[in-house]
Chains A and B, each alone.
Chain A
């Protein structure tokens, strides 16, 4: 156990596993801070994983793939936003519908593009980029500064989200939309516009999180590859009390569990305990995290409350 925890490869894996979660958690956090629960996250991650991969497979550069993933996510975000914001439909139902639609679209399009493949084709994914100097620091260097560019981008993205949320007029408007939309509207800002915009950008980030799986972690697209990560991100937003910094910590903690269980399977313990038990740990951890945080969290007051102009 100790051996695992002091190895650089373990910590490098933690950051790698956390990266897609950080993107998607930031995406969900933006949506929820603006007052919209986005249960489309799981499917949007699937479409992001697929669209980003497909774009690169068809010849776009890797960053082009990331951009395509963002765009695809934003498109499904627009669908979710239009249905739940101006029309005020149930965010639960529409979100699940968006997840089903996005997942099915990705699978359908994959089968359409590659009808006969048995082993999924590969692309050349993002390679590890060692930060000069810093990556030479013993232990810390290989753990933190020998990652793919998309991992650095994930952490930069979290910082940017925190900055925008707490330091800019846009972030203020977004928080107001999630706390008391009437206050925002009374100040002449369109709640509908802010909320739909937030859901689109948030969904774009979720899709980028999905694309991490195909463009950085693996080199192909598989069915079921997102495997509940989206739902875990929803738990992470709660765990992080709707704050970007705490949510990143939650993602790292979760990734730590995940990296640990993979390594524990290879220890003598892994021979005795069935591997499924290890695989369950991250999900169990997520549920426990929700239970522990449930009393303390400060939920955005207008989360899941549709806003209609002129009504109070």
Chain B
């Protein structure tokens, strides 16, 4: 018997929530109910409207229509304070912790009147320690956040909510930053919470988590609720179908034809990277799996020229590199699709045309120090047409473009130089389904044209689906190369958790 049928108290009710951003309807008349002691999974693809919905619930956004009721009382819109007071605690995907403050300070922040003298430190410490114990959330209350691991930081976020006596916990993609084993511990905590009468909403796009750990599933697609089912009455296939709107077909990418080694790293040390050995071959997509923050950014910087090797040897097309800078990398034929297209990939206030030549203006579009703007413009027009960039024109500011179109322009900028080596760091993060398919198609096309592609992603499905060879990165160390299909998802998860590395404890 499900909780809904058992007549358990309804603790939260969302009624006809609608939110528009310009012409985009992010949430379209969404309704849902949460019962006491229930774990509700909110499922949907990137861009389905999950995070928007939770931000409305928590008061970060103001809904255009609809209402929220918590414990029978209407929740005033647009006030995080009201949500907190009503007993709703939220754990954001990107933690909201102040790095230089201690765990205890982060937890007690804002819980006392700002004008009080704050004498309750001992009591606060005792309460935090008690909650740690009761919910299995081990963390040192006096440690600085900066010194904690990602998993520990998430525990602090949960403690923050529990400290305020939250009765409803909302977690946005909580396992995105965790190893499978850490994720298991998190779900253990959530079970302890529901046993004490708390209710949980967690947002996910990972079907196995939803199947394993929820009582109810609500599936969102294009901002609408397309299904609400008791978890035990459904299966992965049915949920997947609801999510994407059709029976999911396993996209199969034909294997590449490996060519010569384009880039090799031997015993390289750089930043957090330790004793790294890696080969990227022409005609091959090498996938890099791992939990975020384990050295992926440093590896991308290393190959892309932003980080120089401190020790070891780096060869491009057989020749050892010296004085490795972004410009040297570009000259050596390294194409880079950066992780953050807004902050590193583009200059928001520049036009499309200017952004299109950000890496090549000096080499290809200048004479005697003067830029040939006519050539720049026609180059940009070519990219817009060739890579299906939807925009008002080459003179439009790039900040006006959607993420997908911005990424297509970057893709075009990189591909037009026919790179011998291509680093794609989280190339589809935050894109809609159509744009994802487009970007993936282009990566495979680049591979088939002879590029050595390094695909860095936190999405294991993406890595497993596209790569010819897979490495796992953990704490700056690189696993051996595994051929496609050699390891199961679970086995890769163990590597991601740091097991199997030679010097692992």
Contact = CB atoms under 8 A, between A and B. Distances in A.
B114 A185 contact: no
B92 A186 contact: yes
A30 B256 CA distance: 59
A189 B60 contact: no
A187 B110 contact: yes
Given A186-B80, A188-B81, A309-B60, A169 B116 contact: yes
A180 B97 contact: yes
A262 interface: no
A176 B109 contact: yes
B80 A176 contact: no
Contact of A170 (B61, B92, B97, B115): B115
A168 interface: yes
A301 B146 CA distance: 12
Contacts of A298: 100
A180 B111 contact: no
Nearest to A309: B60
A169 B61 contact: no
A168 B110 contact: no
Interface in B50-92: 55, 60-61, 80-81, 84-85, 90, 92
A296 interface: no
A interface: dominant SS? helix
Nearest to B84: A188
A168 B117 contact: yes
A179 B99 contact: yes
Interface in B99-122: 99-101, 105-106, 108-118
B96 interface: yes
Interface residues of A, number: 25
A248 to B, nearest CB: 21
Contacts of B108: 169, 172
B367 interface: no
Contacts of A309: 60
A180 B108 CA distance: 15
A134 interface: no
Nearest to B104: A172
Contact of B110 (A173, A179, A180, A301): A173
Interface in A263-312: 298, 300-301, 309-310, 312
B80 A185 contact: yes
Interface of A: 167-170, 172-173, 175-176, 179-180, 182-189, 194, 298, 300-301, 309-310, 312
The 7 lowest CB-CB distance pairs between A and B, nearest first, are: A187-B110, A188-B81, A179-B98, A180-B98, A186-B96, A169-B112, A189-B110
Interface of B: 55, 60-61, 80-81, 84-85, 90, 92, 94, 96-101, 105-106, 108-118, 160
19 contacts: A169-B111, A169-B113, A172-B108, A175-B98, A179-B100, A183-B96, A183-B97, A183-B98, A183-B106, A184-B109, A186-B90, A186-B92, A187-B84, A187-B109, A187-B110, A188-B85, A189-B81, A194-B114, A301-B98
Given A173-B109, A188-B84, 8 more contacts: A168-B118, A172-B108, A172-B109, A176-B109, A182-B96, A187-B84, A187-B160, A300-B100
